Amino acid sequence: MNAAPDLTEIERLEHADAPELLKWALAEFGHSLAIATAFQAEGMVILDIASRLARDVRVFTLDTGRLPEETYRMMETVRERYGIAVETVAPDAAEVEAMVRLHGPNLFYRDVPLRNLCCEVRKVRPLERKLRELRAWVTGLRRDQHDSRSEVRKVEAINGKVKLSPLADWSGERLREYIERHDVPMHPLYAAGYSSIGCTPCTRPVQQGEDERAGRWWWEQDAAKECGIHFTPEGKAERKLDVLLSEILEAQRR
């Protein structure tokens, strides 16, 4: 097993373009590399680039149990267009049951820590389980999506795993140009005014002039528009999340 890239290699790869970075990652990690996607534009572009470089690309998605029907249709689109069977990663059923029993099915509307708890159970913890079988994973983060992503690096070593964001330095215009040039399949909800797509109750279309991620958790004020799989909550929200999570882990053992 190869070791994670050293600092010199990471710095070199930071300046690589997306196809070069993906080509390196596919050669370096092979079947221990997977693309994580919710079938938004960035993830589909990465998938399209990777499919031109290798025939056996692994792709997975977090099936939270609250996804829109259009997202499931995208899984079939990927199978038909690229011949890739998407690996689905579900939350632990006992944890979801305990969370809903303690806080109700729509707890995320009440306050930020409860929303973070729902994301933790349905997305963060399932992702952590999936990463145990991988050495590296690929995300569609771009620096210009939101202030919280402005410092995203293309290559990061995290807890012994390598996280790759090949489109970190891409603009929205460059993304659209690639999609049009290669006729990349797009999630149907973009045509309905969505610019960022997540779970059904937590995502809405955006209005003209709004931030790209304004449709995510739109009822929250001054909270980071992140679910925790890329950036963890900070301060009081994180401490409350720890308490809430410990409560449901205890409840699901009863």
Q: What is the pLDDT of residues 137-182, one digit of tens each?
A: 999 999 887 666 678 899 998 888 999 999 999 999 999 999 999 9
* Alpha carbons within 13 A on the beta-carbon side of 149: 24
Strand ranges in 146-215 using DSSP code E only, listed in sequence order:
155-158, 161-164
Closest CA to 196 of 123, 127, 141: 141
127 burial via Cβ count (<10 Å: 0-12, 13-18, 19+): middle
Residues 210, 37, 65, 134: is their CA dihedral positive or negative?
A: negative
Higher pLDDT pick, 131 / 229? 131
130 burial via Cβ count (<10 Å: 0-12, 13-18, 19+): middle
The Cα–Cα gap between 50 and 201 comes to 31
How far does Cα 98 stand from its chain's mean position? 24
- The count of other CB atoms within 10 Å of the CB of residue 115 is 23
Assign 223 a pLDDT band (cuts: 50, 70, 90).
Answer: confident
The Cα–Cα gap between 44 and 67 comes to 17
Confirm whether 199 is a catalytic residue: no
| Per-residue pLDDT, 1 | 47
| Per-residue pLDDT, 154 | 94
The Cα–Cα gap between 228 and 240 comes to 14
What is the H or E stretch that residue 188 is in?
Answer: none
| Per-residue pLDDT, 214 | 85
Query: What mean pLDDT do residues 61-66 have?
Result: 97
The angle formed by the CA atoms of residues 204, 85 and 117, to the nearest 5 degrees, is 40
- Identify whether the C-beta of residue 49 lies closer than 8 Å to the C-beta of residue 22: yes
Mean pLDDT is lowest, of 7-16, 59-68, 141-150, 198-207, for 141-150
Q: Between the CA of residue 59 and those of 28, 44, 80, 166, 167, what are the distances in Å?
A: 17, 10, 14, 15, 17
Assign 251 a pLDDT band (cuts: 50, 70, 90).
Answer: confident
Please provide the average confidence, as pLDDT, over all residues in the chain.
89
State the CATH architecture for 7-251.
3-Layer(aba) Sandwich (3.40)
Which tokens belong to 87?
């690996």
Mean pLDDT is lowest, of 5-19, 172-186, 203-217, for 5-19
Q: Pairing state of beta strands 155-158 and 161-164?
A: antiparallel
| Per-residue pLDDT, 97 | 96
| Per-residue pLDDT, 22 | 97
pLDDT over 70 percentage in the chain: 89
Given 118, 119, 202, 227, which residue is catalytic?
227
Query: What mean pLDDT do residues 188-200 have?
Result: 94
The Cα–Cα gap between 135 and 34 comes to 9
The Cα–Cα gap between 243 and 35 comes to 32
